[in-house]
Chain A
Amino acid sequence: MLSAEGVSKHFSGLAALQGVDMEISSGELVGLVGPNGSGKSTLLNALSGFIRPDAGIVTFHGERIERRRPWDIAKRGLQRTFQLPAQPQRMTVLEVMLTGADLPRGASLTQSLLRPRRVRAEQAEAIERARGLLDELTLLELEHHAAGSLSGGQQKLLALGVALMSDPDLLLLDEPTAGVNRSLRRALMSRLRAVNDAGTALMIVEHDIGFVSELCARVYVLNKGEVLTSCEPAELAGDPRVVEAYLGTRKRRPRPAATSREAEREPRKVPS
């Protein structure tokens, strides 16, 4: 469904991405991990149209998208979230959800001016869907609050909800667990599994290998702009290249205790 071939990007001489190849099939749950500065965000931006690659091809549903604007790509069924959702302060949670809906009448200038009643009817349907989604995300009671006044974790859930409004085929998540507390992580994990079960493919870009390992069937490892490997999560700790990539760039972020059963079973191989 999504494939990237030879994607490269340079920023003033520095190679952020070098010849990245990637494939995501329909309904897959894929992870993308890598140390700081490995190019994960750049790749995500390149796939979603926020950055134009210097070289390479990205295909989605058979169409080349690497030169398309972000909204074109989103309309085709590829949604993404942001690491810092930074939800707007002057709109309610429910309104933000609606921005993710497809409302052709409401989006048309003439219709919104001349047919306000039809516009409201179309909107009512979307409101019900939005409220349903908010309920599943346990955000319903906050529907009339300013979106920007939610906690960081709640804003991330909201971002997920908005992205789901359009029923995307593929959802790219940018560090969904960053700054999220433990209980919310559990909830997020089960929610993402449910979303995937319902048919949406997911690519989770993460720093926290534990989260990705538990959730994803397959994981890409990025280092210095190149794909090191693509393997099953269980193989990660055993791959010396992966270990070296993470050790070579000292990870400083303190890891929460017992992040996943995986980590408890197989402690990371740290040289003595």
Chain B
Amino acid sequence: MFDFLLGVAVVATLYGILATSLNLQAGVTGLLNFGLVAFFGLGAYATGIASIHGWSWELAIVAGMVLAAVAGAAVGLLGRTLASDYWAIATLALAELLRLVTLNTDSLTRGAQGITTVKPFFPDLGPTQRDLAWLALGLVVLAVCVLIARRVTEAQVGRVLRLLREREALAAAMGHNVVAAKVRVMALSAPMAALAGSLYTHYFIFIGPQQLAPFGTYLVWTMVVVGGLGSAWGVIAGAFVVELLYEVTRFIDDVTGISPESAGGIRILVVGAALLGFLFFRPAGLIPERLRKLHAVR
């Protein structure tokens, strides 16, 4: 039981990083990114592909983050041409496109069977100790990401983003380059998702196209909505709560005797019910974003 919860906690910290990334985009800036899983995938596959060729895993992580930053900036730039609804669809479609590419370029990505050559971290530790080490690593990385997110959100950069999420025209009229702002927030937050992807791959020692399906985005959106869109701590809470919920439902087929394949569907239903439920009844989330009352502090 403890081991199970420990494993859940590790994965939850990785999702927390993803949630922080999405929160910067959707919560702070109002960008409907339905393709978050693509940035995750860039990091994950950078790590995976590097492991096939025996390249440095550190460089792979960096490469994944750089790739994601560039991709994020490009997608943000797309916001110049596309209004928010269409931009959302475009991100969903681009993520699907990436999944198709990973599925079909066998020579590069090993196609549908995925990559299993990834080097595990902490190879000399026993399973429980390894998970504890991972938890520590995950929490540290998460803390850094949250710190970055908070500093950006509280400063003028974040203020402009928060204005543009509600009143883009007002922000433009106030002298702020709204396109550049969107590009910057994407370029800042996408690498976080990529880092989460790389870490995920090192943890599970596997990456495959299935991980790039829209379900990943959907899960993180649920975490962000349940936790509190726009609230840095809220989305972390959401990540832990939803991840726990999702993992606990793993035992449904044991408890109820439904076939495992059908049980898979139920797990998704439970998560979806949480998302819709919160959208309906508590859209501000578990820990709602608070109004920032400023005081002149020297």
Which residue in B171, B177, B184, B188 is a CB contact (below 8 Å) of A99?
A: B171
A-to-B contact residues, CB < 8 Å: 48, 50, 69-72, 74-75, 79-82, 85-92, 94-96, 98-103, 105-109, 111-113, 116, 119-121, 123-124, 127-128, 131, 144, 146, 148, 162-163, 166
Chain B positions 156 through 173: 1 when the CB is less than 8 Å from some CB of chain A, otherwise 0: 111110110011011111
With a cutoff of 8 Å between Cβ atoms, the chain B residues found around residue A116 in the complex are 151, 155
Which residue in B175, B230, B296 is a CB contact (below 8 Å) of A74?
A: B175
Q: Which B-chain residue is minimally distant from A103 (CB atoms)?
A: B156
* B53 close to A (CB within 8 Å): no
Which residue in B155, B169, B174, B298 is a CB contact (below 8 Å) of A119?
A: B155
With a cutoff of 8 Å between Cβ atoms, the chain A residues found around residue B298 in the complex are 121, 124
Q: Which B-chain residue is minimally distant from A120 (CB atoms)?
A: B297
Question: Other than the known A71-B176, A144-B293, what 5 A-B pairs have Cβ atoms closer than 8 Å?
Answer: A70-B169, A74-B173, A95-B159, A107-B155, A163-B174
* B291 close to A (CB within 8 Å): yes
Chain A interface, >50% SS class: helix
What number of A-B contacts does a CB cutoff of 8 Å give?
130
Check B175 against A95 for contact (C-beta < 8 Å). no
Q: Which B-chain residue is minimally distant from A144 (CB atoms)?
A: B293
Chain B interface, >50% SS class: helix
Q: Could you tell me the distance in whole angstroms from the C-beta of B47 to the nearest C-beta in chain A?
A: 25
Q: Give the size of the chain B interface in residues (CB under 8 angstroms).
A: 36
With a cutoff of 8 Å between Cβ atoms, the chain A residues found around residue B270 in the complex are none
User: Which of B152, B173, B230 has its CB near the most chain A CB atoms (within 10 A)?
Assistant: B173
Which residue in B157, B159, B170, B177 is a CB contact (below 8 Å) of A109?
A: B157
Check A80 against B173 for contact (C-beta < 8 Å). yes
Which residue in A94, A103, A111 is a CB contact (below 8 Å) of B294?
A: A94
Give bound CA distance, A100 to B293, whole Å: 17
* B253 close to A (CB within 8 Å): no
Q: List 7 A-B contacts (CB under 8 A).
A: A69-B172, A70-B169, A75-B175, A81-B173, A91-B159, A94-B293, A116-B155
Q: Could you tell me the distance in whole angstroms from the C-beta of B27 to the nearest C-beta in chain A?
A: 10
Give bound CA distance, A106 to B154, whole Å: 9
Which residue in B156, B174, B188 is a CB contact (below 8 Å) of A106?
A: B156
Give bound CA distance, A95 to B163, whole Å: 9
With a cutoff of 8 Å between Cβ atoms, the chain A residues found around residue B294 in the complex are 92, 94-95, 98, 123, 127
Check A166 against B188 for contact (C-beta < 8 Å). no
With a cutoff of 8 Å between Cβ atoms, the chain A residues found around residue B175 in the complex are 71, 74-75, 79, 100, 102, 166
Q: For residues 153 through 209 of chain B, which have their beta carbon under 8 Å from a beta carbon of chain A?
A: 154-160, 162-163, 166-167, 169-178, 184, 188
Give bound CA distance, A124 to B177, whole Å: 23
With a cutoff of 8 Å between Cβ atoms, the chain A residues found around residue B158 in the complex are 112
With a cutoff of 8 Å between Cβ atoms, the chain A residues found around residue B289 in the complex are 90
Give bound CA distance, A102 to B172, whole Å: 14
With a cutoff of 8 Å between Cβ atoms, the chain A residues found around residue B292 in the complex are 91-92, 95
Check B151 against A99 for contact (C-beta < 8 Å). no
Check A88 against B163 for contact (C-beta < 8 Å). yes
Check A90 against B160 for contact (C-beta < 8 Å). no
Check B152 against A91 for contact (C-beta < 8 Å). no
Q: Could you tell me the distance in whole angstroms from the C-beta of A235 to the nearest C-beta in chain B?
A: 33
With a cutoff of 8 Å between Cβ atoms, the chain B residues found around residue A72 in the complex are 177
* B108 close to A (CB within 8 Å): no
* B148 close to A (CB within 8 Å): yes
Return the 10 tightest CB-CB contacts between A and B, nearest first: A106-B156, A112-B155, A74-B175, A88-B166, A103-B156, A70-B172, A127-B296, A106-B155, A124-B296, A75-B175
Give bound CA distance, A162 to B159, whole Å: 14
With a cutoff of 8 Å between Cβ atoms, the chain A residues found around residue B297 in the complex are 120, 124
With a cutoff of 8 Å between Cβ atoms, the chain B residues found around residue A166 in the complex are 174-175
Give bound CA distance, A66 to B155, whole Å: 32
